[in-house]
A and B are shown apart, each in its own frame.
Chain A
Amino acid sequence: MNWPRALLTDSGGFQMVSLLHLADITEKGVTFQSPVDGKPMLLTPEESIQIQNKIGADIIMALDDVVKTTITGPRIEEAMHRTLRWIDRCIAAHKRPHDQNLFGIVQGGLDPVLRDICVRGLVDRNLPGYAIGGLAGGEDKDSFWRVVAQCTATLPEDKPRYVMGVGYPLDIVVCSALGADMYDCVYPTRTARFGTAIVPEGVLKLKHKAMAEDTRPIDPTCACMVCKNYTRAYIHSLVTKDAMGSQLLSFHNLYYMMQLSRNLHSSIVQGKFPEFVCNFLQKMFPKGDIPEWVCNAMEVAEIDISSCCAPFRYIQATKVQSNLNEDEIQAV
């Protein structure tokens, strides 16, 4: 690839389960249909680590037993325990521990007891970093942030926490407030291919007819090559019709996400993180209608966002903590 900067490889587990037919998971590994010739293939923890050793990325991921959070029942517990058994096999198979950092992945669905067992098990193995997996799959936001909060509260302070598959800018801001450090998501590029740009207010759909005459840049506050050189009108003429449209929008969206990361980092370093969060939320929710789950999460993260919540909404959020019933709230 001739890529001189950092690299991270995934184990292949998620892609197999989410993208391929006939994924069958046993103690040995994951059996799936080869995308090349359709023949059955087995990916074991040992093989995944071996491949990742050859690719040579700086961070490599353990093969975990992933289940969708929308699934309930004993399968979740089975997957969590198997993930712990597999991490030992991954560690044993890892031939390059000195130049490649093997991260373990916390599983356990939405069950705090299972998550706790998994966190403790991984921390016992003293890994270079820990991922929070099994989220970003359609679970409701309220459950999502609670799992992240629980994991960040119990994972070691001095090692990176990587929330896999996250995500939307709002999700990243919330998870960062809760103590997460790393993220990955297809969202910026996928949404670009559908003609959608990520902007401070949320999203901008360049396909929309109104864009055909709009000579402003996508985001006047953005310093990327696309916003400095192109108008919404021109991008509109490209999106969904020419690959160049996808390229330019992907460029902007990725730049936006990287700028967001940079701002999160520097605002924390400068001791201005709460202000940054408020500013971010104000731009996204100018009417103050911040979703309840965000308010709840920020409360736990001890970030005061009352200045950007519309009054009624803030009361809704504190309802979580108090025992006021509806009538009593209305009366306030």
Chain B
Amino acid sequence: MKFAVKAWSNGGARAGILHLGTSTIDTPSLLLSTRKGLPHFISPDLLSCLPSPESRLLHVSPLHFLEGLSMKTISKIGGLHQLLGLHDHCFVSVPRDSIQCLPEANSTNKIGASFETPCGRLLIKPVEYMEMISSTRPELWATLADEVPAWVSDKRNKTSVDRTIKWLDECISLSPASGAVFGAIVGGSSLEERRRCAQEVATRNVSGYWVGGLGLGESMDERPALLNAVIEALPEEKPRLICGLGLPEEILQGIAAGVDLFESTYIYHLTLGGFALTFPLDRTQINALNLAPSDVGSDPRKINLRATVFRKDTMPIVEGCTCYTCRNHTRAYINHLLNVHEMLAQILLEMFFPVDKGSYQCRPI
């Protein structure tokens, strides 16, 4: 893995280039969420319709495979690339998946991190986690962390930082030859603990940093300070990855603070809801959206394609958008698919998002 900052904005935001596997990706960049390694809806043959190389980073939680696929078998098959038949993509492994594998801070103890998963509550020890990393062989992985929500006691928060650092060292010592390691940084909503953790992790031999423990109860107002406390302690030239931010505004907050890579569940939830993101970057584009005044559940950032106002709308979701969905289908068709409960609706919506969100963020700041 190689990373270099290409340009700086006035504040902490920066544009960079990430070389990972066979891909060269401009940052800031959004990772695609996956379930057992493949997107929730987009079938593998359609992945090539997404813009490349922006869409080549896939977030994989190794915990997903605990439901029905042993690490031994994955190893035998040859790791994620072989398992998933995706050879042009890069895998970023983070245990937490904000949709289905949420950290369960009350059950985490000194032995391992607890997660609430579809196969129940699981306690993952560092050595088990590293076995998953060795079997799946992602290009990039984050160390195991003790993520706590914003409302825990100071004592619990401090413990989470101590544990996360201890597990970081354990993971690094067990780390396989290949794959870039990102050190996990936690600290809840305490500026002090965030700073302390970041300073400790900054001294470790890692390729980048994963900022964890956010999106677990802290408010958007608190976040910039927390992010700054972390980022200030980190070297500039190494990339930063964050999970758990959702709304575009939150992502922009992250970018402003100096984060380079994002994993967000926002797209997944919007897709399920039948929404399409349409936020423009400037005022002229707002006018071009051509929204009817009585839109149900819509605002300048997104449209609700279930709304009856779209039944006969033969425009693409966003006029001029060059994604597969907009080049081939209309709002009316997606509205129909949603009404008859056809999965193609979700496929088309999921395909629409990454282009829009990713490309807006890859523009020079």
Residues of chain B within 8 A of A142, CB atoms compared = none
A233 at the interface (CB under 8 A from B): yes
Residues of chain B within 8 A of A247, CB atoms compared = 43, 343
Cβ contact of B44, chosen from A1, A225, A236, A237, cutoff 8 A: A225
In the complex, are the beta carbons of B69 and A234 less than 8 A apart? yes
**Residue on B nearest A247 in the bound complex, by CB:** B43
In the complex, are the beta carbons of B77 and A237 less than 8 A apart? no
Cβ contact of B43, chosen from A1, A231, A248, cutoff 8 A: A248
In the complex, are the beta carbons of B36 and A237 less than 8 A apart? yes
Residues of chain A within 8 A of B83, CB atoms compared = 230-231, 234
In the complex, are the beta carbons of B70 and A215 less than 8 A apart? no
**Residue on A nearest B66 in the bound complex, by CB:** A237
In the complex, are the beta carbons of A212 and B41 less than 8 A apart? no
B68 at the interface (CB under 8 A from A): yes
In the complex, are the beta carbons of A244 and B67 less than 8 A apart? no
A247 to B36, CA, bound (A): 14
B40 at the interface (CB under 8 A from A): yes
**Residue on A nearest B340 in the bound complex, by CB:** A35
**Residue on B nearest A233 in the bound complex, by CB:** B73
Report B162-196 CB contacts with A as 1/0, cut-off 8 Å. 00000000000000000000000000000000000
Given contact pairs A215-B76, A244-B40, A230 touches B85 in the complex (Cβ within 8 A): yes
**Residue on B nearest A251 in the bound complex, by CB:** B43
A251 to B38, CA, bound (A): 15
A207 to chain B, nearest CB (A): 10
In the complex, are the beta carbons of A229 and B36 less than 8 A apart? no
In the complex, are the beta carbons of A212 and B68 less than 8 A apart? yes
Cβ contact of B77, chosen from A215, A241, A243, cutoff 8 A: A215
CB interface residues, A 229-273, toward B, < 8 Å: 229-231, 233-234, 236-238, 241-244, 247-248, 251
B306 to chain A, nearest CB (A): 15
In this complex, the interface size class of chain B, counting residues with CB under 8 Å from chain A, is 20 to 34
In the complex, are the beta carbons of B43 and A236 less than 8 A apart? no
**Residue on A nearest B83 in the bound complex, by CB:** A234
A87 to chain B, nearest CB (A): 29
A8 to B232, CA, bound (A): 63
B3 at the interface (CB under 8 A from A): no
A250 to chain B, nearest CB (A): 10
A49 to B95, CA, bound (A): 56
In the complex, are the beta carbons of B44 and A229 less than 8 A apart? yes
A40 to chain B, nearest CB (A): 21
A229 to B45, CA, bound (A): 11
In the complex, are the beta carbons of B73 and A212 less than 8 A apart? yes
Residues of chain A within 8 A of B73, CB atoms compared = 212-213, 215, 233
Residues of chain B within 8 A of A233, CB atoms compared = 69, 73, 77
A41 to chain B, nearest CB (A): 17
B63 to chain A, nearest CB (A): 13
A228 at the interface (CB under 8 A from B): yes
In this complex, the interface size class of chain A, counting residues with CB under 8 Å from chain B, is 20 to 34
A221 at the interface (CB under 8 A from B): no
A interface SS class: helix
CB interface residues, A 16-57, toward B, < 8 Å: none
B65 at the interface (CB under 8 A from A): yes
Residues of chain A within 8 A of B41, CB atoms compared = 243-244
Given contact pairs A229-B44, A251-B43, A236 touches B77 in the complex (Cβ within 8 A): no
**Residue on A nearest B68 in the bound complex, by CB:** A237
In the complex, are the beta carbons of A237 and B69 less than 8 A apart? yes
A236 to B70, CA, bound (A): 11
Residue from A2, A231, A241 having most chain B Cβ neighbours under 10 A: A231
In the complex, are the beta carbons of B85 and A236 less than 8 A apart? no
In the complex, are the beta carbons of B40 and A243 less than 8 A apart? yes
**Residue on A nearest B87 in the bound complex, by CB:** A229
CB interface residues, B 330-351, toward A, < 8 Å: 333, 343
A237 to B63, CA, bound (A): 13
In the complex, are the beta carbons of B343 and A243 less than 8 A apart? yes
B328 at the interface (CB under 8 A from A): yes
Residues of chain A within 8 A of B38, CB atoms compared = 244
In the complex, are the beta carbons of B69 and A2 less than 8 A apart? no
CB interface residues, B 19-46, toward A, < 8 Å: 35-36, 38-41, 43-45
Cβ contact of A234, chosen from B35, B40, B77, cutoff 8 A: B77
Residues of chain A within 8 A of B69, CB atoms compared = 212, 233-234, 236-237
**Residue on A nearest B46 in the bound complex, by CB:** A247
Residues of chain B within 8 A of A237, CB atoms compared = 36, 65, 67-69
CB interface residues, A 195-239, toward B, < 8 Å: 212-213, 215, 225, 228-231, 233-234, 236-238
Interface residues of A (CB under 8 A from B): 1-2, 212-213, 215, 225, 228-231, 233-234, 236-238, 241-244, 247-248, 251
If A2-B329, A233-B77 are given as contacts, then 19 extra A-B residue pairs at C-beta distance below 8 Å, sorted by A number, are A2-B328, A2-B333, A212-B70, A212-B73, A213-B70, A215-B73, A215-B77, A225-B44, A225-B45, A225-B85, A228-B85, A229-B84, A229-B85, A231-B77, A237-B36, A243-B343, A244-B36, A248-B44, A251-B43
Interface residues of B (CB under 8 A from A): 35-36, 38-41, 43-45, 65, 67-70, 73, 76-77, 83-85, 118, 328-329, 333, 343
Pairs A-B, 9 closest by C-beta atoms: A229-B85, A237-B68, A237-B69, A2-B328, A233-B73, A247-B43, A244-B38, A215-B77, A225-B45
